[in-house]
Amino acid sequence: MALEEDQDSNTWQWEVSVTLSSNQPVIGTEIITTKTKLVNSYHTIGAPPPSHSFVYTWYRHSIPCSVHRHKLATVQRTSCAKLNASIEKSYHCSSKCFSDAWNKHKKYHHWAANAARNNSTGNQQDVKKLRSSGSWPNLIDGSVLDENAIMVEEDNIWIKVGSSNTYVPTLYDCDFRLRLHSAAVDSSLGIRLSPDNIVVTDPVIKPAHPPRKMIRLQNTLNLNFNAQSSNDVVFSVLSYNILADSLSINAVGYCPKWALAWEYRQENLLEEIIKCDADILCLQEVQCDHFENFFEPELKKLGYSVMYKKKTGAGLFTAESEKSTNHGCATFYHSKLFKEIMKYELEFDKEASSVVNALEPRIRFEGSHHLTSKDNVALVVVLESLQNGSNRDAFQSRICVANTHIHWSKGHEDVTLFQVVHLVNGLEKIAQSQQIPLIICGDFNSRPGSDPHNFVVKGSINCISEKANDPLGIYQYLKLHHSLSLVSAYSSFLHSDGVEEQWRKMNSQTSEPAFTFFSDKFFGTLDYIFYTDNSLIVESLLELVDRESIDNNGIPSPAWPSDHIALMASFRLRPPSHWGLSPPPFPLNPWHLVALN
């Protein structure tokens, strides 16, 4: 502290008593000192203390160099962390310190490297700079720290981080303890009246929303399903728009910037996804670089097979350096539960060419720009169950899962409808080819009761073509009907007993959740899990949330990593209609010319 103690601690007449608002610090949540007072050290009644003020100093525990214990670690050998071998010896105060120590250190984790089939010979080891938290990929350069801001105590290093009666933990504090020193100072003489009162907190944690649990349904469909058995194919599907980092700037006005940092959000997203433990994951707004560098390797470790389709057009019009931020759809499935039979990648900008060619010549150029400049995609996969004990033939254990992110922008409602109609009409061909169950997940950018939503769940719509909603007259070329028995999974809440708590989080008029998207500009439902109810039964659903649980401020937030909430449903295959022979092959291009009515 700035003031030195000028007398033996045993002779102090006064001491500081201080209480913290919480001993469990959370990133972004202010810690307040409460009930700070100066009391007689001998607990005797006498003259009151002189006029005084309190001084405070906050410290953060930090990692010392494993070689030079009095210095702050600024780099870590990541191979040790990955192998969980001799981690306490992997921290160094400089790159030179790391290099000098490598030949001696490598024997400590040579066995672990071999076990992981990791070539760890020589000096070709990954080195990362550390933040003070150890969890984030940047550390303030140790050279910029004033020596008075560092306190060394035995093998512990503490860095000064604040000097007021409150402190707000930051990303740099995550996983580390905080330490508050409090003392009293004579207001007139400026001399210390007490020794330091020292309070050490628990390690700083990230804020998190309460875990959402799966709600099992009790409806007549399930109760009357007499053929239900332990050998039936049961699986779960999660749909989640994770908010691409390149789009998170839209939330700057209401979400703290540190909570928007991708390094922070990616960990919260992964943690939430892992907790859901779905068999199939359908993610939207996954940036190309984040898929390759984070989601793909992390989820492969958990046994998922992966596939990815990024949006097509943006890369044609942006600089090379911006292509990595282009986002798309990523689908993951547990490789022990399913195998891939067929995969389709749908590019809506290219698929719109048949509609553009049908337009009158004088408006084709305008139509091409209007329809083909929207580069949204869909990723469709046919999976076959590998679950042990299935009493079905292989083709009777197949499901088709579509993952999409549909376009929306003001004045382009016809584009939104075209993309939804085109997707469903092609999926109809796939489903009919083998009487295969169908699940469609994604961000449809369409409210309940809108034309795209009604088309999916009602099977047809009678759109009135007007200049406002159909400026080019494309509705006449669309096949605005389908034969699929598609239902929104979350509508099952309204047909189930014992889930009254979820009813109030639903919109009874639309039979959809009250919201799946919540920002400072819009509140409503845009995300859905549709399924064919003649081939699948909803067993359970991930519970919904209400506005109160996210403080009515919108998301993302420190506890909620995206502006959308995740949806998840568990399904059971209905008893199939038996084929006399093997089913016909899947169509090679189910979307060929389906846009034309």
Residues 393-405 have pLDDT tens digits of 666 789 999 999 9
* pLDDT band per the 50, 70, 90 thresholds, residue 531: very high
Give the C-alpha separation, 225 to 246, whole Å: 47
Q: What is the tens place of the pLDDT at every residue in 142-169?
A: 333 455 677 777 667 888 999 999 999 9
pLDDT score at 325: 55
Task: List, in sequence order, every beta strand (DSSP E) within 21-88.
Answer: 31-40, 52-62, 75-77
Among the ranges 210-219, 330-339, 395-404, which has the highest mean pLDDT value?
330-339
Q: What is the tens place of the pLDDT at every residue in 420-454?
A: 999 999 999 999 888 899 999 999 999 999 999 99
DSSP conformation letters of 293-331: IIIHHHHHHTTEEEEEEE-SSHHHHS-GGGGGG-EEEEE
Better pLDDT: 80 or 216: 216
pLDDT score at 548: 85
Residue 376: both structure tokens together: 């949204």
Where residue 184 falls (left for φ over 0; alpha for ψ -120 to 50; beta otherwise) is beta
pLDDT score at 141: 37
Q: What is the tens place of the pLDDT at every residue in 242-283?
A: 999 999 988 888 998 888 989 889 999 999 999 999 999 999
Residue 24: both structure tokens together: 């469990």
* pLDDT band per the 50, 70, 90 thresholds, residue 552: confident
Residues 57-78 have a mean pLDDT of: 77
Residues 514-518 have a mean pLDDT of: 96
Full-model pTM: 0.78
Residues 314-326 have a mean pLDDT of: 49
Average pLDDT of the residues of the chain? 83
Residue 318 has pLDDT above 50, yes or no: no
Give the C-alpha separation, 312 to 293, whole Å: 20
Better pLDDT: 441 or 587: 441
Q: Answer whether 134's CB lies under 8 Å from 159's CB.
A: no
Q: What pairs with residue 330 in β-bridges?
A: 283, 308
* pLDDT band per the 50, 70, 90 thresholds, residue 109: low
The helix or strand, by DSSP H or E, that contains position 371, with its residue range, turns out to be helix 364-372
Query: Which residues touch 300 (CB under 8 Å, ≥6 apart)?
Result: 306
Nearest in space to 196 (alpha carbons), one of 59, 63, 64, 70: 59
pLDDT score at 328: 96
Query: Which residues touch 132 (CB under 8 Å, ≥6 apart)?
Result: 60, 62, 63, 139, 140, 159, 172, 173, 176
Parallel, antiparallel, or unpaired: how do β-strands 398-405 and 438-443 relate? parallel
Query: Which residues touch 477 (CB under 8 Å, ≥6 apart)?
Result: 355, 358, 595, 596, 597
- The mean-pLDDT minimum among 65-69, 312-316, 435-439 falls in 312-316
Give the C-alpha separation, 29 to 206, whole Å: 10
pLDDT score at 534: 93
Task: Give percent of the chain with pLDDT exceeding 70.
Answer: 78
Query: Which residues touch 116 (CB under 8 Å, ≥6 apart)?
Result: 82, 83
Q: Answer whether 221's CB lies under 8 Å from 539's CB.
A: no
pLDDT score at 223: 47
Residue 63's Cβ-side half-sphere holds a number of Cα atoms within 13 Å equal to 27
Q: Answer whether 563's CB lies under 8 Å from 403's CB.
A: no
Q: Answer whether 491's CB lies under 8 Å from 508's CB.
A: no
DSSP conformation letters of 466-524: -TTT-TT--GGGS--B----EEEGGGGGGG-SS-HHHHTTEETTTTEES-SEE-SS-EE
pLDDT score at 416: 95
